Amino acid sequence: MSAEAEAVRCLLLAAYDARKRDLPWRGESDPYRIWVAEVMLQQTRVKTVVPYYRRWIRHFPSLEALAEAREEEVLLAWQGLGYYARARRLLAAAQVVRERYGGELPASAEELRRLPGVGDYTAGAVASMAFGEAVPAVDGNVKRVLARLFDLPDPGTAELRGLAGALVDPHRPGDFNQALMELGSTVCLPRSPLCPSCPLETLCLARGRGTVGERPARKGRPAVPGVEMAVVVAVAASVTGAAPEDGGHAGRPGEARETGASCGISFFLRKRRGTGLLAGMWEFPGVQVADAGRARGAALELVGELELDVLGPPVELDAVAHAFTHLKVRYRPFVLWVSGVGSDTEGRWLGPEELSRVPLPVAQERIAQAAIEVVRHGPQSL
């Protein structure tokens, strides 16, 4: 393996040096920034990550700045990137590093794995790129490259990590790991790989045997279930202004605030509790229904449970579909003018401008924008 490994290193690093992409975290020496980039890149395309990474670094330029941030502030900076547990774990890990390691990320993959949300891949990536430790970083792209390079139909995780560990360049481990990931991302594609452009073409067993399209073997994905959600977009005339910093009610109908107040409208939203997929994000109240035909009635029942007085008939907005990794959700929003502040003390009344100051999931953001348009310019029935 040693001669073959040396050939892989030489060919791969030469190609990487010649045509690597110009990315904002490339050449970065700050372990914190490398860590942030690698977490963002998990299950997310590079072109999507770049603007989020730049904004994040402006908001939280150091690990200490992140460790001091509020969860809502962190989720707002992450809004739209998806897989929000990554953001919450970044915050939790930053706080652990501040308390346990004096604000400095540990320099070994073994120590890094002890942090919240840091698995084998992230630990290997940060340890090799930031600290020069000769350890592998095996993501989905690397798995595909190795399966083809060694013509493995269904390799296991341990086998792939062993192969990657034997290949990693001891002198340039960070560059080698990035080169391998870059190859999978830009050349050794899942479908229609660009084999003639691959620096490892002459060493690739699958290329030589004509099995590239079969490596790794594709596994059937289980069907993703779908659900229908009735959503209440409660609208009230209000006195709006800046959202409070203490997390209390904002923009209660008829309730003036000390500065920047002006007459307008407010929407009622609630914060998701617990530790689930969208924990800590804000949303319009909703309830799952058996089918679309029951959404209107469920929305009216829900607004009644909130003890809000409905002032007119509900106006149904276009359905908003969103696919999570484990679930497909079709949201069916209904706009209702209401009066009173309601009985739900967990929620906030927010003006249209204030919605940008709380973290909203993508689907909820789309509902909010549609509701604002309807309320401001829509049917006279509102």
In a domain, 382, yes or no: no
CATH of the domain at 201: 1.10.340.30
Same structural domain, 16 and 100: yes
pTM score, whole prediction: 0.84
Point out the catalytic residue in the list 6, 38, 283, 353. 38
In-domain check, residue 51: yes
44 in any annotated domain: yes
Q: Is 71 an active-site residue? A: no
Q: Are residues 148 and 284 in the same domain?
A: no
Same domain, 22 and 96: yes
What is the 3 state secondary structure string of the chain?
CHHHHHHHHHHHHHHHHHHCCCCCCCCCCCHHHHHHHHHHCCCCCHHHHHHHHHHHHHHCCCHHHHHCCCHHHHHHHHCCCCCCHHHHHHHHHHHHHHHHCCCCCCCCHHHHCCCCCCCHHHHHHHHHHHHCCCCCCCCHHHHHHHHHHCCCCCCCHHHHHHHHHHHCCCCCHHHHHHHHHHHHHHCCCCCCCCHHHCCCHHHCHHHHHCCHHHCCCCCCCCCCCEEEEEEEEEEEEEEECCCCCCCCCCCCCCCCCCCCCEEEEEEEEEECCCCCCCCCCEECCEEEECCHHHHHHHHHHHHHHCCCEECCCCEECCCEEEECCCCEEEEEEEEEEEECCCCCCCEEEECHHHHHHCCCCHHHHHHHHHHHHHHHHCCCCC
Boundary-marking domain end, from 214, 240, 272: 214
Nearest alpha-carbon partner for 370 in 324, 302, 317, 331: 317
Task: Give me the number of domains the chain comprises.
Answer: 2
Clarify whether residues 239 and 138 are in a common domain.
no
Q: Using the 3D structure, point to which of 166, 181, 214 is the last residue of a domain.
A: 214
Phi-psi region of 114 (alpha: psi -120 to 50; beta: other; left: phi over 0): alpha
Of the candidates 296, 315, 313, 278, the one whose C-alpha atom is nearest the C-alpha of residue 229 is 296
Query: Residue 221: inside a domain, yes or no?
Result: no
Q: Which long-range contacts (CB under 8 A, 24 or more apart) does 54-57 make?
A: 54/24, 57/24, 57/33
Residues 198 and 233 in one domain: no
333, 368: one domain: yes
29 is a domain residue = yes
Instruction: Report d(CA 238, CA 221) in Å as an integer.
Output: 48
Q: What is the pLDDT of residue 223?
A: 86
Domain that holds residue 337: 226-377
Q: Would 219 be classed as within a structural domain?
A: no
Q: Using an 8 Å Cβ cutoff, are 271 and 280 in contact? A: yes
Q: Tell whether 210 and 233 lie within a shared domain.
A: no
Residue 110 sits in the same domain as residue 206: yes
In a shared domain, residues 270 and 177: no
Do 270 and 130 lie in one domain? The reply is no
Pair (164, 233) in one structural domain: no
**Residue 12 near residue 200 (C-beta atoms within 8 A):** yes
Domain-located, residue 220: no
Residue that is last in its domain, among 214, 247, 263: 214
pLDDT of residue 221: 77
Burial grade of 231 (CB within 10 A; 0-12, 13-18, 19 or more): buried
Measuring CA to CA, which residue among 171, 175, 146, 178 is closest to residue 161? Answer: 146
Assigned domain for 15 exists: yes
What's the CATH code of the domain at 341? 3.90.79.10
Query: What's the pLDDT tens digit per position in 102-144?
Result: 999 999 999 999 999 999 999 999 999 999 999 999 999 999 9
User: How is residue 179 written in tokens?
Assistant: 């080169």
pLDDT at 378: 56
> Do 74 and 191 belong to one domain?
yes
Low-confidence residues of the chain: pLDDT under 50: 239-252, 254-262, 379-382
DSSP lists the bridge partners of residue 240 as 262
- CA angle, 25 then 31 then 34, to 5°: 30
